[in-house]
Amino acid sequence: MLLGLSGLSELSGRQYHCTNKHSFDLAKEGYVNLLPVQQKNSKDPGDNKLMIQARRAFLESAAYQPLSDAVNGLLADTAAKTLLDLGCGEGYYSGRLQQALSKAAPAHKDLQLYGIDISKIAIKYAAKHYPTMQFAVASAYQLPFASNYFDGAIRIYAPSDNAELQRVIKPQGRLVSVSPGPNHLIEMKQAVYREVKPHSAVIKDEPGFNHITRQQLRYTLAINEPQQLDNLLQMVPLAWKFNAENRQHFVSTTQQISIDFLLDVYQRQ
């Protein structure tokens, strides 16, 4: 059952109807595909299977677990009942968030966690692995949820539309946003650029929200095996800058890499 999806009514346990009488099937993994053809700018938008598999393998190595723990910490004190993971990928962060919050306090017992992503393959994976969460293939630019539905949202390296965030997050609701800090993966940049420009640390303005706090999370990740670095490379747009030769060299010689995340908390006005 997918509560909170705007304009959709449940026709049967496995089918939904929208107000225009289009029907959407509940996939066997338990997600709905709400991406209309006209919102697709390619046959399979979003991250593809290879990227998803590489990201999953990398995340399972616990390399970004400190980030996941820090995100969970920023939501631990809320009594949120409805949370959204925007561009959730295969659900690593929201899966761990649900686990952490449900252990933390009985207040989170009835928590409903939703994830949306434009990538069908990512959502398929997420729905299969996190059966107690609700997932939909949908665009962050046209969220399929009723207005003021969410007590909070997380946005980890994912696109969003400010008007949609303002619409779906309740007044006083929280948005936790993660973006790269100045030195994030700097060694990768050094391998492909002559002159390396750090990521900007400017706090993004989110109209309709007040910026509450910023936390910077920095650590050095020791690379266990070349495959781990290869997986990381698959996840980042910078991978396109490598040719086969410098990729091979980078993967076989790099032993540690700088991790630098910026975690910003905003509150809906």
| Residue 115 contacts ligand SAM per CB under 6 A | no
- DSSP lists the bridge partners of residue 134 as 114
Residue number with CB closer to ligand SAM (9 or 39): 39
Q: How far is CA 78 from CA 3, 104, 170, 200, 254, in A?
A: 21, 11, 13, 29, 40
* 89 phi-psi bin (left φ>0, alpha ψ -120 to 50, beta other): left
| Contact residue for ligand SAM among 24, 30, 78, 117 (CB under 6 A) | 117
Q: One symbol per residue from 83 to 112: x for binding ligand SAM (CB under 6 A), - otherwise; what is it?
A: ----xxx--xx-------------------
What is the Cα–Cα distance from 151 to 165, expressed in whole angstroms?
11
| Residue 122 contacts ligand SAM per CB under 6 A | yes
Question: Among the candidate windows 23-31, 139-147, 207-215, 240-248, which touches ligand SAM by CB under 6 A?
Answer: 139-147
Residue number closest to ligand SAM, CB atom:
46
| Residue 46 contacts ligand SAM per CB under 6 A | yes
For residue 192, give the nearest of 260, 245, 258 by alpha carbon.
245
Q: H or E element: which one contains 188?
A: helix 186-192
What is the Cα–Cα distance from 25 to 10, expressed in whole angstroms?
10
Residue number with CB closer to ligand SAM (117 or 230): 117
| Residue 264 contacts ligand SAM per CB under 6 A | no
| Residue 181 contacts ligand SAM per CB under 6 A | no
Helix, coil or strand: residue 59: helix
Question: Among the candidate windows 25-33, 71-79, 105-113, 150-158, which touches ligand SAM by CB under 6 A?
Answer: 150-158
Cβ contact 84:2 at 8 Å: no
Number of residues in contact with ligand SAM, rule: CB under 6 A?
19
Residue 159 burial (CB count, 10 A)? 11
Question: Among the candidate windows 101-109, 157-165, 167-175, 251-259, which touches ligand SAM by CB under 6 A?
Answer: 157-165
- DSSP lists the bridge partners of residue 228 as none
Q: How far is the CB of 89 from ligand SAM (least distance, A)?
A: 3
Binding residues (CB under 6 A) for ligand SAM: these are: 46-47, 55, 87-89, 92-93, 117-119, 122, 139-141, 156-159
